[in-house]
Amino acid sequence: MEDIDAIAVLQDPVRRRLYEYVAAQGREVGRNEAAEAAGVARTLAAHHLDRLAEAGLLESGSRRLTGRSGPGAGRPAKVYTRAKGERSVSLPARDYRTAAELLAEAAELAGLDTGLRAAARRRGEALRGAAAPCGGLAEAMATLAARGYEPHLEPSVEPPVEGSEGEPGGDADAPASVIRMRNCPFHAVAERFPPLVCGMNLALLEGLLGADGSVRARMDARPGECCVVVAASKNNLD
């Protein structure tokens, strides 16, 4: 299916709600759960979910949602996740991806990592404008969501910082939270030039969020997600 046809499938408001819900979960979603989240009947949700799978926007499979196996475990249910493929439309046709890859290749060969990071940090600061550095994880979440990073909170694997639960004044015994991002806006180029582009991304977010604020960006790559995570700044928690 052509990209423009696949994207047109999202024109239906119910279908779009279902797609956005499944995409936001970062895991397999069953029909009942998706129907409840979208506020529609299960049969209608099933129809739209299958339509999204046919368009290549979702991937479908089956598993037992009870987590049990063997007799009495129930029949496998159909589940959905966001498809890994990327869809884009440009009218008239443009090919910015090839230009980005050529520029990344030239920068890598010329050893321009430091200059690229400096430029990315300046761009992040320009995007932030006159606004103060982010004052906490909630503000950082909103900033990152507006840039298409699809942020979500999860407990950090690092030892908790005293007096912190991801924000100042939290419970020291609770694990700190970090912001992970399900989407990398530079995914296609980052796959080919990971050190160069991930370093650029980190510097961009440092400028965007503000290096002197209540949050800090750091590298923590994980398959299928952005290579950068955002946590509460230790300097802010002292």
Residue-level pLDDT at 138 = 94
CA 65 to chain centre: 25
Residue-level pLDDT at 95 = 93
Between these two residues, 184 and 70, which has the higher pLDDT value?
Answer: 184
pLDDT digits (tens, 9 = 90+) for 160-183: 444 444 444 444 444 578 999 999
**Interstrand relation of 58-63 and 29-30 (parallel, antiparallel or unpaired):** unpaired
Assess whether pLDDT exceeds 60 at residue 21: yes
For the segment 27-41, the average pLDDT, to the nearest whole number, is 96
Angle (nearest 5°) at CA 2 between 56 and 7: 65
Cα separation of 196 and 106, whole Å?
11
Between these two residues, 173 and 69, which has the higher pLDDT value?
Answer: 69
The tally of CA atoms less than 13 A away on the side-chain side of residue 173 is 0
Residue-level pLDDT at 68 = 60
Residue-level pLDDT at 168 = 43
| Mean of per-residue pLDDT scores for the chain | 88
**Interstrand relation of 29-30 and 228-232 (parallel, antiparallel or unpaired):** unpaired
Assess whether pLDDT exceeds 60 at residue 81: yes
Cα separation of 200 and 118, whole Å?
8
The tally of CA atoms less than 13 A away on the side-chain side of residue 66 is 9
Cα separation of 41 and 23, whole Å?
20
* Residues 186-212 as b or e (16 or more Cβ within 10 Å = b): beebbeebeebbbbbbbbbbbbbbbee
Residue-level pLDDT at 233 = 79
For the segment 81-99, the average pLDDT, to the nearest whole number, is 91
Cα separation of 122 and 116, whole Å?
10
> What is the percentage of the chain residues whose pLDDT exceeds 90?
71
Query: 3-state DSSP call for residue 180?
Result: strand
Cite the DSSP H helix spans in the chain: 3-8, 13-25, 31-38, 42-54, 96-109, 113-128, 137-146, 187-192, 194-209, 234-237
Residue-level pLDDT at 224 = 84
pLDDT digits (tens, 9 = 90+) for 117-157: 999 999 999 999 999 999 999 999 999 999 999 999 988 76
- What are the backbone angles phi and psi of residue 3, rounded to the nearest 5°? -55, -40
Contact between 207 and 121 under an 8 Å Cβ cutoff? The reply is yes
